[in-house]
Amino acid sequence: MTLTLPGHSAPAVGFEVPLEMLAACHGRVQHQCETLLRLVTHLQIHGADRSAQEAASAVMRYFDTAARHHHEDEEQDLFPAVLASMAGSDAVCLRELTASLCSDHRALEQRWAALRRRLLQITGGTSSTLDNADIPGFVQLYEQHIAREEAELLPVAARLLSEAELDRIGLAMRARRGLGAAQTEHA
């Protein structure tokens, strides 16, 4: 069995279309989660060999940077913009939705911190198992979270946010990553 290292299979999109970029990031998160699930089996058969160490490192890089930026993009820019665009009872529903999604982010970050410690051991070859790391729970929470964002949040944002507001969000996303106007990075 060969462990496939994670890549960026989602379509490349830029900061000029921030909602599409956030959606594409969901595909990359799911790819990383699939790698985690494959890593469990790989470790059982091959231990913490070079492929396992490289996969663990790649997953750590992704969740330490791009996934963290994704949560910040939503909480610091997208959620406030969507909330500011609504009034009345719809705003109450959106506040509940964004608060729930923020709660998911905290739970995912907490689970990631515990999982990261285990992956760090694998990258150094000092552990050859992810037993008790609850990868299925981490993956399931991300799947539920992504499904909710794609079914509820992103369609509302696409409907409510003006081009100017979307441009502002895209620029904030770029700045968060320390990128200039011509540079791009996968979220």
Q: Is residue 84 one of the residues assigned to a domain?
A: yes
Please indicate, yes or no, if residue 75 is contained in any of the structural domains: yes
Amino acid type, 35 = T
How far lies 108's CA from each of 48, 71, 104, 120, 127, in Å?
25, 10, 6, 18, 23
Q: CA 160: distance to chain centroid?
A: 23
Q: Which of the four pLDDT bands, split at 50, 70 and 90, describes residue 182?
A: low
Residue at 2 is within a domain:
no
For residues 126 and 119, what is the distance between their CA atoms, to the nearest angstrom?
10
pLDDT tens digit sequence for 14-54: 888 999 999 999 999 999 999 999 999 999 999 999 999 99
Q: Please report the pLDDT score of residue 87 as a whole number.
A: 67
In a domain, 53, yes or no: yes
Please report whether residue 3 resides in a domain: no
Whether residue 166 is contained in a domain is answered as yes
CATH code (residue 75): 1.20.120.520
143 pLDDT more than 60: yes
The total number of structural domains in the chain stands at: 1
Residue 8 has pLDDT above 60, yes or no: no
Phi-psi region of 162 (alpha: psi -120 to 50; beta: other; left: phi over 0): beta
pLDDT band of residue 146 (cuts 50, 70, 90) is: very high
Structural domain boundaries, residue 39: 18-176
Q: Is residue 104 part of a domain?
A: yes
Residue 178 backbone dihedrals phi, psi, to 5 degrees: 70, 30
How would residue 7 be classed by pLDDT, with cut points 50, 70 and 90? very low
Q: Give the global pTM.
A: 0.85
For residue 77, is it within any domain? yes
Give φ, ψ of 13 to 5 degrees: -135, 160
87-107 mean pLDDT: 88
